[in-house]
């Protein structure tokens, strides 16, 4: 299994956007047709998508549901979805609609039993988002910072049956500073759960670096702004990842 590249589609008000450091007031709009964007990624060879309902992350419930459904229906591969998924009925609904994996963030810290229950109910379908600000876990759309360390939260789910950990360095997200490869690899080595890297991917060099650590437990990488700004060619990224 090679490194998985997840092109990102972040939804705000039904539009495709990217945020800077998770700040809703610093959103750049890249289009108003999420389904078209998903198909462009598919045409470039993507077999996986990472979709985030940004409004949902702050509201604690689905806000861009129609757009997500349209993406899932059109995209021929696997869709991983996050943003405001904090109740069992939310999880069940998205799996019923064809989402491949559901990302749980805030609820993982505030209600860990919920994650364990969902991981048992949907084997291989639950991803825990570990969002870090200076090494500590951030929640509620990254607006709140906890006193729990990234590794501490990750270890709580080692035996829960979650599919992966999605590690985001919030300070780098949408900033094109380069992915925090050392922190990602440290987390992958510290736990027995595969880790997906996110936040700050600036170009093909980040894909190369992460691919080198595929054997350490780095399962994949999410990239958004670098693709939209033309700094990273998706087909090239997929080629590098396939060689991992």
Of 155, 135, 129, nearest to 222 by C-alpha is 129
Q: Catalytic amino acids? A: 10, 131
Q: Are 204 and 237 in contact (CB under 8 A)?
A: yes
Of 4, 11, 79, 3, nearest to 39 by C-alpha is 79
Residue 71's contacts (CB-CB under 8 Å, 6 or more residues apart) are 9, 34, 35, 38, 49, 51, 79
Of 90, 166, 172, nearest to 131 by C-alpha is 166
Using DSSP bridges, classify how beta strands 195-198 and 164-169 pair: parallel, antiparallel or unpaired.
Answer: parallel
Number of neighbouring beta carbons within 10 Å of residue 79 = 24
């Amino acid at each position: 299994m090679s490194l998985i590249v997840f092109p990102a589609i972040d939804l705000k008000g039904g539009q495709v956007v990217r945020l800077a450091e998770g700040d809703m007031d610093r959103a750049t709009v890249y289009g108003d047709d999420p389904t078209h964007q998903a198909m462009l990624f598919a045409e470039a060879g993507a077999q996986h998508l990472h979709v985030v309902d940004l409004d949902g992350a702050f509201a604690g419930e689905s806000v861009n549901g129609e757009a997500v459904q349209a993406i899932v229906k059109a995209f021929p591969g696997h869709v991983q979805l996050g943003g405001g998924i904090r109740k069992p009925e939310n999880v069940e609904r998205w799996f019923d609609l064809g989402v491949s994996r559901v990302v749980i963030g805030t609820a993982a810290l505030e209600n860990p039993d919920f994650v364990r229950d969902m991981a048992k109910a949907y084997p291989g379908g639950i991803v825990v988002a570990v969002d870090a600000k200076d090494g500590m876990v951030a929640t509620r759309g990254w607006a709140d910072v906890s006193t729990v360390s990234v590794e501490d939260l990750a270890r709580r789910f080692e035996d829960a049956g979650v599919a992966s950990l999605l590690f985001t360095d919030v300070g780098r997200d949408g900033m094109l500073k380069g992915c925090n490869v050392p922190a990602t690899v440290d987390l992958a080595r510290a736990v027995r759960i595969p880790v997906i890297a996110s936040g700050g991917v600036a170009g093909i060099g980040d894909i190369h670096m992460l691919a080198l650590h595929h054997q350490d437990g780095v399962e994949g990488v999410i990239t958004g702004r670098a693709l939209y700004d033309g700094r990273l060619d998706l087909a090239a990224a997929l080629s590098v990842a396939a060689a991992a």
